[in-house]
Structure 1
Amino acid sequence: MTGGGACAPPRISMGNMMQVTETLNEGLKRAYAITITAAELSEKVDAKLLEAQPEVELKGFRKGKVPMAMLKKQFGPRVMGEAMQEAVDGAMNEHFEKSGDRPALQPDVKMTNEDWKEGDDVNVEMSYEALPEIPEVDVSGVALEKLIVKAEDEAVTEALTNLASTAQDFEARDEAAAAEDGDQVVIDFVGSVDGEEFEGGAGEAYPLVLGSNSFIPGFEEQLVGTKAGEEKDVNVTFPAEYGAEHLAGKEALFKCTVKEVKAPKAAEIDDELAKKFGAEDLEALKGQISERLEAEYTGAARQVMKRAALDALADLVSFDLPPSLVEAEAKQIAHQLWHEENPEVTGHDHPEIEATEEHTSLAERRVRLGLLLADMGQKAEVEVTDAEMTQAIMQQARQYPGQERQFFEFIQQNAQMQQQLRAPIFEDKVIDLVFEKANVSEKEVSKDDLQKAVEALEDE
């Protein structure tokens, strides 16, 4: 793909007057000198002014009757700028259509005769890095292993126990027992600020779990150690940003009477527990848990097999990479890893982070695989459907409860965010094609073996 030799650089005529001359063809780097003649520009300007003339009104002239000389004087400079831009864009588009080149990044375009004046030709330099030709890849010989994990009784029991703990109840402690963190205290309370009771500051037989942080900061901690029948004065300060302005930042006194102290008790693992979680009975709940666990195992096993597939693809092909893409990816990797190692730095006000050879090597792998998967998907006519995009947006929107509509609108107006959501869906669909064509064998393993395989991915 390299140029050179003793031949003169090709000069390409576009239209009758525009000239495009190749000035660099080295690896994936390309550069062209584009000349747009003064005659062509003048012709474009005249055409634009003639098109606009019927709608133009100027003082002293009826609509559509303004002379061309007057139009040129009034609107010529602005129309000239539009004509230049259209001419350059047209030359670029025609070049890419004829050459078949696809630029890796937005081409760098600059005007070289900065002292240009009306009547001069326009000289423009365009440079870019072309995307490489991707070789055909035969994945039929790739051997992949699909790990299968069944939901064992032990794992189902562990999940049931965890569910029972979340559905915990409370049972009364002995009368002399002191309340501990995690206990539930049943209290009557009356709150006052500056000796005056305030609305919403009283309650009777209120069940408060100590450590739940459901009351004002500092309230629950003062009830630890209290006993049934005990009266306790709790002094707290409302937060400065408290919702009720008349209480924000104020010191308050709550007179509390502890009526009962209860210890947490996990729910029984029985049909009643199952019904709390929407299952008909305990056996049905066990079945649901087994399905959920095996779905999780399947997802993890897919990640392991996907990494193996990517490793195999990386070894199957080799082609030139656009240096600009590799450099940008290496910088991003270095930046991300630096923040992982320095989690206390949340912003980007830090020294410039230099990419190392290790970062560059990883970047080359990512860029190569990204270009390969994109090419494979394009040739297989892989598309991300509207339904798949909607589902992806909905999953992201769940992270913003109460603001789902605003998130949807933000995505609809942001092409870059849409691409960020579309890219992993597209990649997974191409990986599915690889799985279909590769030689895949199944291997049943334990949950621990699968966990080790997943951890090995994180270590790489």
Structure 2
Amino acid sequence: MEDMQVTVEDISTVKKTLRVEIPREEVVREIDRAYDEVRRTARVKGFRPGKTPRSVLERMFKKEIHEDVTARLLERSFIDAVRERDLRVVGRPRFDAPALDPGAPLVYAATVEVAPPIGEVPFRGLRLKRPRYRVSEAEVEAHLRGLQKRLARLEPLSAPRPAAEGDVLRIDFEGFQDGRPCPDAPRNENFTLKLGGGRVLPAFEAGLTGMQAGESREFPVAFPADYENRQLAGREITFRVTLREIRSEILPPIDDELARRVGPYTTLDELRAKIVAQLEEGYRKRIEQELQEQAFRQLLDRVPFEVPEALVEAELEGILEEAERSFQARNTTLEEAGLSRETIAATYRETAVRQVKRHLLLGRIIEQEKLELPPGKLEEAMQEIAGRLQQPVSVVQTYYRENPEKLEALRHALLEKEAAERIIQSGEIEDVDPPAEEAAGGPSAA
């Protein structure tokens, strides 16, 4: 936009206020153009199309035309101002503009957030400690016992006896408070749980322990103040329970037959080898993640910078959407779990800030090192995605071809991975034994 005046006020390294002055002549031209457009299309009684006098149009459409002209001038001039001052704007601008005056320049302010200036990132030579995680026989046995429990069968008791830990119970129950039914703990029939399974509060399990099939019992349960169901948190509810059935869990032997039932294995040794391979892969990913966390902590100490709030909010929104999808997959909602978007946002805000800083640092390293994807890397990633989704690769390719912004996001994510690998490869790595408690808690081999 010609003859436009732009000044920039620094509020912080990531927040600026642009003060823009659009010449009166440009304002007048835009208003005249708007009235010409309206004259061509307006249907005004008593006048032929295109012949309505300007004074009549002003009387009828002045407010709407001025609002439309202001919006157009703001949009065009803001884009030009950002380009002129070479600002990397993130998020939406906040405009402060007066009412349009045809006899004066249009002067307005636009407050924006921008990507932080990040200088050269000294990422080479970081001192990193790589833990030597090793798969133990105890881990393999633990996973085999987990598979054994998954294949257990439930059988009625051969002789009456009290309910004990490990039994699977079928119960009817209802909660009461002050002698009246509690709507927050309504009647539930044929509810199944395993004693010692941790599915319910320990006090509820304790009340069930020792009951006989057919017996009814009443006992209080005090819910902790931080209980996930906010309607029950901090309250004491009396439960009336009838034990309908006790069944015992019969575990199959850990042998070749179990391996054949689990998957495409003919022997227990084949299953063990698969578990070991999965555990080793889990440790490989864990080591990679821990090295990256060490590296980014050091880099953020070396290269401090501010973070735009708009990027933090966008990252938080992604975390919230993922949480909602997770609850929907379990046929429940945040509210039913006693949570809200606000509480999750407060809990994960620092996580979002760290993630934004990580993306910004990696983006700067990509620019600094002029990184490009190796040939075929994008196609390889699409094949991996197709495999996870169990879809033909052509379907994935079509999706990205029709959604160029998603394709660019995938390309950038792959470049970030390349940058992260370069950081680790250029570091000074010392192999160390992990603390005993960490070494004992291995990754999942599900």
TM-score range, shorter chain: 0.5 to 0.7
Taking structure 1 as the reference length, what is the TM-score of the superposition? 0.57
Percent identity at matched positions?
A: 19
Match of residue 64 from structure 2: 78
Q: TM-score, with normalisation over the residues of structure 2?
A: 0.58
Give deviations 1:30-55, integer Å, cap 9, x for gaps. Answer: 44432223332221122233234433
1:150-189 correspondence to structure 2 within 5 Å: 150-169=134-153, 175=159, 177-180=161-164, 182-183=166-167
Q: 1:15: how far off?
A: 0.6
Equivalent in the alignment of 2:280: 294
Q: What's the counterpart of residue 335 of structure 1?
A: none
Is the alpha carbon distance of 1:30 and 1:348 closer, same or farther for their aligned partners in structure 2, counting shifts above 3 Å? closer
Equivalent positions of 1:64-213 (< 5 A) are: 64-103=50-89, 106-111=92-97, 117-128=101-112, 130-169=114-153, 175=159, 177-180=161-164, 182-183=166-167, 211=195
Q: After superposition, give the CA deviation of every residue in 1:276-334 in whole Å (9 maximum; x if it has no partner).
A: 2113221121122112212221222122101111023224435x536x649989xx9xx
Contact 1:183–1:263 at 8 Å: present in 2 too? yes
Residue type of the alignment partner of 2:306: L
- Go from structure 1 to structure 2 and tell me whether the alpha carbon gap of 1:235 and 1:72 turns closer, same or farther (over 3 Å shift): same
Structure 1 equivalent of residue 295 of structure 2: 309
Q: 1:61 aligns with which of 26, 47, 50?
A: 47
Determine the C-alpha separation between the residues in 1 that align with 2:250 and 2:435: 30
After superposition, residues 30-429 of structure 1 pair within 5 angstroms as 30-103=16-89, 106-111=92-97, 117-128=101-112, 130-169=114-153, 175=159, 177-180=161-164, 182-183=166-167, 211=195, 225-226=211-212, 232=214, 263-280=248-265, 281-318=267-304, 321=306, 325=309, 346=339, 369-377=358-366, 380=371, 429=417
Residues 448 and 47 of structure 1: CA distance in aligned 2, closer, same or farther (over 3 Å): same
Distance 2:286 2:295 in 1: 14
With 133-142 and 153-162 compared, the bigger mean Cα shift is at 133-142
Is the Cα–Cα contact under 8 Å of residues 146 and 440 in structure 1 kept in the other structure? no
Structure 1 pair 168–278 and aligned structure 2 pair: CA distance change class (3 A): same
Inter-partner Cα distance in structure 2 for 1:305 and 1:268: 40
Name the CA distance, whole Å, in 2 between partners of 1:284 and 1:64.
Answer: 85
Amino acid at match of 1:314: L
CA distance in 2, matches of 1:42, 1:89: 17
Query: Match for residue 431 of structure 2?
Result: 443
Q: How far 1:271 sits from its partner (Å)?
A: 1.1
Q: Contact 2:167–2:194 (CA<8 Å) still a contact in 1?
A: yes
Q: Secondary structure at the match of 2:96?
A: strand
> Partner of 1:432 in structure 2?
420
Equivalent position SS for 2:119: coil
TM-fit CA distance, 1:370? 4.7
> Displacement, 1:270?
0.4
Distance 2:62 2:168 in 1: 82
The residue number in structure 2 matching 1:24 is 9
Q: RMSD of the alignment, in Å?
A: 5.4
Candidates 8, 15, 28, aligned match of 2:2: 15
* SS at 1:35 equivalent: strand
Tell me how many residue pairs correspond in the alignment.
346
Give the Cα–Cα distance (whole angstroms) in 1 for the partners of residues 59 and 438 of structure 2: 76
Q: Distance in 2 between matches of 1:453 and 1:316?
A: 32
Q: Using the TM superposition, name which of 304-313 and 175-184 deviates more.
A: 175-184
Q: Give, in whole Å, the separation in 2 of the partners of 1:145 and 1:222.
A: 49
- Which structure 2 segments of 5+ residues have no match? 171-189, 219-240, 317-336, 390-404
The 1-side partners of 2:19 and 2:162 are apart by 86
Change (3 A) 1:76 1:181: same
Comparing 146-155 and 88-97, the one that deviates more: 146-155
1:123 aligned counterpart, secondary structure: strand
Q: What CA distance in whole angstroms lies between the structure 2 residues aligned with 1:69 and 1:436?
A: 71
Shift in CA distance, 307/77, structure 1 to aligned 2, threshold 3 Å: same
The SS at the match of 2:252 is coil
Tell me: CA distance 1:347–1:151, structure 2 relative to 1, closer, same or farther (3 Å).
closer
CA distance in 2, matches of 1:81, 1:326: 27
* Cα deviations by residue, 1:381-440 (Å, 9 ceiling, x for unpaired): 68998977x969x99xxxxxxxxxxxxxxxxxxx9xx9xx98995796265343465236
Name which structure has the greater RCO, CA cutoff 8 Å, separation 6+.
2
- Aligned residue identity for 2:275: I
Secondary structure, counterpart of 1:164 in structure 2: helix
Alignment partner of 1:155: what SS?
A: helix
**3-state DSSP class of the match of 1:125?**
strand
Amino acid at match of 1:284: E
Contact 1:182–1:264 (CA<8 Å) still a contact in 2? yes
Letter in 2 for 1:120: A
Determine if contact 1:108/1:127 at 8 Å carries over to the other structure. Answer: yes
Contact kept, 8 Å, 1:34 with 1:124, in 2: the verdict is yes
Q: Distance in 2 between matches of 1:156 and 1:321?
A: 46
Q: Is the 8 A contact 1:156 1:290 kept in 2?
A: yes
Taking a change above 3 Å as real, the CA distance of residues 391 and 72 of structure 1, as seen in their structure-2 partners, is farther
What is the letter of the counterpart of residue 271 of structure 2? Answer: L
Q: Distance in 2 between matches of 1:76 and 1:182?
A: 79
| SS class of match (1:267) | coil
**Rg larger for:** 1
Query: Which whole-Å CA distance do the structure 2 matches of 1:155 and 1:27 have between them?
Result: 52
d(CA) in 2 for partners of 1:296, 1:223 = 38
For the residue of structure 2 that corresponds to 1:33, the secondary structure is strand
**Does structure 2 conserve the Cα–Cα contact (< 8 Å) formed by 1:139 and 1:437?**
no
CA 61–313 in structure 1, closer or farther in 2 if over 3 Å, else same: same
